[in-house]
A and B are shown apart, each in its own frame.
Chain A
Amino acid sequence: DTEVTQTPKHLVMGMTNKKSLKCEQHMGHRAMYWYKQKAKKPPELMFVYSYEKLSINESVPSRFSPECPNSSLLNLHLHALQPEDSALYLCASSQMTGSSYEQYFGPGTRLTVT
């Protein structure tokens, strides 16, 4: 099973709302990632979790708050977002050791901030 699931598929929120994105994988991967992708552009790395600890934060604004409750789950909490934060948010996972460094992506959450 190489599936990464993400919920919700679509999310519309106002600038004062608080919402959360969820990601789940059952491949035993110990690295999990959040990316932001604008239309026709490559994904931009936001956060990396390794063994449930935040290891990389690519200078992401504090209105995005990641959380890794366990080795299978990854959340992204959203608060006071701006219209320019509208994008496709992708979750991915990968192994940490061996030669299988490829990342497996979820289908994404399409976020619209109004």
Chain B
Amino acid sequence: AQSVAQPEDQVNVAEGNPLTVKCTYSVSGNPYLFWYVQYPNRGLQFLLKYITGDNLVKGSYGFEAEFNKSQTSFHLKKPSALVSDSALYFCAVRDLLRGYQKVTFGTGTKLQVIP
């Protein structure tokens, strides 16, 4: 089965500083990777995906992610953090279960942007 790991339960960053939220993956075959964000008491919002092509993927709200095949990583980045970016971030990977597609989520990383 495909899986992703998020090694940090929480990341703190000062407003205006660059941020990185880490994700590593374990897949057989080509990876289909995603980042989602969840604000308090809300559903998950899709940020970006990597299917194939450029290793740097740009997404919503100024976020981007770097796919690194040799390090099996897919870290989420933003050049300048905003207080409003504070939320729970999930890395995810497409998987197949009995021939049907599903998404397997990482454990989540809480991002706290400090004013």
- What is the interface of chain A, defined by CB distance below 8 A to chain B? 2, 4, 6, 31, 33, 40-43, 45, 48, 50, 55-56, 88, 90, 92, 94, 96, 99, 101-108, 110
Measured CB to CB, the residues of B under 8 A from A are: 32, 34, 36, 41-46, 49, 51, 88, 90, 94, 97-98, 100-103, 105-108, 110
Looking at chain A's contact residues, is the secondary structure mostly helix, strand, loop, or mixed?
Answer: strand
Contacts of A56 in B (CB 8 A): 97-98, 100, 102
B108 to chain A: closest residue by CB: A42
The main secondary structure of chain B at its interface with chain A is: strand
Chain A residues, CB < 8 A from B90: 42
Chain A residues, CB < 8 A from B42? 107-108
Chain A residue nearest in CB terms to B98: A56
A99 to B94 CA separation, bound complex (whole angstroms): 11
Can you report 21 residue pairs joining A to B where beta carbons are below 8 Å apart? A31-B100, A41-B107, A41-B108, A48-B97, A48-B100, A50-B100, A55-B98, A56-B98, A56-B100, A90-B44, A96-B101, A101-B32, A102-B49, A103-B44, A103-B46, A105-B36, A105-B43, A105-B45, A107-B43, A108-B41, A108-B42
